[in-house]
Structure 1
Amino acid sequence: MPYHYVYVLRSGEDGTNYVGCTNNLKRRLDEHSSGKSFSTRNKRPLQLIYSEIYLNQQDAFTREKFLKSGWGKNYIRRILQNWFRSKNLGG
């Protein structure tokens, strides 16, 4: 049974976060880093700052949708507040 991942990348270019979902995290991170992903091509360098793993694809898609919402963005800021502070970032 394949795993499904929801992940958050932080842009070193403009400080924005990108939320994505994949069944192969290493491959997807390589695609983002090498500029093969249109949505993050101009936001490199990118840093993986958060990830979750799911057994069910639909659960992962539901979580991705939540993390892209206003409440989800607040959730990321809240759980990573110490990381953002250590980097002097607003989240």
Structure 2
Amino acid sequence: METNNHYFYVLECADGSYYAGYTNDLQKRLEAHNAGKGAKYTRAKGPVEMIHHESFETKSAAMKAEYAFKQLSKPQKIHYIAEGKEDGK
């Protein structure tokens, strides 16, 4: 039985801002953002680059991680992403 992957991801926009979201297909979602068909926030701030993602077994867990990330300050978000990259995420 194949498991569904649920992802929390972070994009860096062309203006240096971050966008956090949820998807079950990272590549398709990144392409949608860069085609102007993603979130309203990223339409005017493209192109975007995926700088972080985490995989979860459930949609709920991925969305909780997204929510927690959105509550962080910009310096905390930078640290969080740096820590994730050190862990190979």
The TM-score bracket by the shorter chain reads: 0.7 to 0.9
Taking only the aligned residue pairs, the percentage that are identical comes to: 32
CA separation of 1:80/1:56 partners in 2, compared to 1, >3 Å: closer, same or farther?
closer
Q: Does 2:69 align with 1:67? A: yes
Structure 1 unpaired stretches of 5+: 83-91
Question: Counterpart amino acid of 2:20?
Answer: V
Deviation at 1:77, TM superposition (A): 1.1
1:78 aligns with 79
Say which of 8, 11, 36 aligns to 2:13: 11
CA separation of 1:73/1:65 partners in 2, compared to 1, >3 Å: closer, same or farther?
farther
Q: What is the CA–CA distance in structure 2 between the aligned matches of 1:3 and 1:27, rounded to whole Å?
A: 13
Q: What is the CA–CA distance in structure 2 between the aligned matches of 1:6 and 1:72, rounded to whole Å?
A: 17
CA separation of 1:11/1:72 partners in 2, compared to 1, >3 Å: closer, same or farther?
closer
Q: What is the CA–CA distance in structure 2 between the aligned matches of 1:66 and 1:73, rounded to whole Å?
A: 14
2:86 aligns with none
Q: So what's the TM-score if we normalise by structure 1?
A: 0.78
Q: What is the CA–CA distance in structure 1 between the aligned matches of 2:43 and 2:65, rounded to whole Å?
A: 24
Q: So what's the TM-score if we normalise by structure 2?
A: 0.79
Deviation at 1:35, TM superposition (A): 0.5
Report the aligned-residue RMSD. 2.0
Count, aligned residues:
80
2:34 aligns with 33
